């Protein structure tokens, strides 16, 4: 694997980790607002 490929994989893993954290936050927020509204 080249250094460029390794860097791309590292970047993509970081992006995936961030997207998963955002998704978890949005799920929690949706659950919170669902409880609050009814």
pLDDT per position as a tens digit, 21-34: 999 999 999 999 99
What pLDDT is attached to residue 17? 98
**Tokens (6 digits) for 33:** 């607002």
What pLDDT is attached to residue 13? 98
Per-residue burial over 2-30, b if 16 or more Cβ lie within 10 Å, else e, is eeeeeeeeeeeeeeeeeeeeeeeeeeeee
Span 9-18, pLDDT tens digits: 999 999 999 9
Q: In the chain, what are the helix, strand and coil shares in percent, each to the nearest 5?
A: 90, 0, 10
Report the domain count for the chain.
1
pLDDT at 38 over 80: no
Domain that holds residue 19: 1-37
pLDDT at 37 over 90: no
């Amino acid at each position: 694997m080249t250094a460029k490929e390794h860097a791309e994989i590292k970047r993509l893993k970081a992006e995936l980790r961030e997207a998963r954290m955002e998704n978890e936050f949005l799920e929690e927020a949706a659950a919170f607002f669902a409880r609050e509204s009814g």
